[in-house]
Amino acid sequence: MTEVAAALIWSGDKFMICQRPPHKARGLLWEFVGGKKETGETLEQTLIRECKEEIAVTVKVNDIFAELVHEYPDITIKLTLFNAEIAEGQPQKLEHVDIKWITVEEIDDYDFCPADEDILKMLKERK
């Protein structure tokens, strides 16, 4: 099982989503910024590193919003989604095709990675 850390970053009533590159698995689907944990890292360290690598920001990692396990045909992931905030920098598309800030009401306008579906339901239920 691959451990993945991701960030739920809010700006007012909108949260950040990122569109995966076309050449990667689940290409062009939307997701929360984050990535795979490397040996010796905590999940918080993973998230800080991934946010620097993918969107050029330093994040402050807060509490856990959700944890889940999802099986894709090619990989099984344990996803930990942290509430996080941008401490430094402006988001840039270093890795993703696009970055958007959307409201909970706009979730259905985007095609997300299947692992994120339960998290999106939780966001809708909290509204």
Which pLDDT value is given to residue 52? 98
Which H or E run includes 52? helix 43-55
Average of per-residue pLDDT across 12-18: 97
In the chain, the percentage of residues whose pLDDT exceeds 70 is: 99
Q: Residue 93 pLDDT > 80, yes or no?
A: yes
pTM of the model: 0.94
CA 62 – CA 121 distance, rounded (Å) = 21
Which pLDDT value is given to residue 6? 98
Residue 65 tokens, joined: 């919003």
Which pLDDT value is given to residue 39? 97
Residue range 94-120, pLDDT digits in tens: 999 999 999 999 999 999 999 999 999
At position 2, the amino acid (one-letter code) is: T
For the domain covering 2-126, report its CATH number.
3.90.79.10
CA 7 – CA 33 distance, rounded (Å) = 6
Which pLDDT value is given to residue 127? 65
> Is 84 in contact with 16 (CB distance < 8 Å)?
no
Question: Given pLDDT bands bounded at 50, 70 and 90, which one contains residue 126?
Answer: confident
CB neighbours of residue 33 within 10 Å:
25
Beta strands per DSSP E along the chain:
2-11, 14-19, 30-31, 34-36, 58-71, 76-88, 98-102
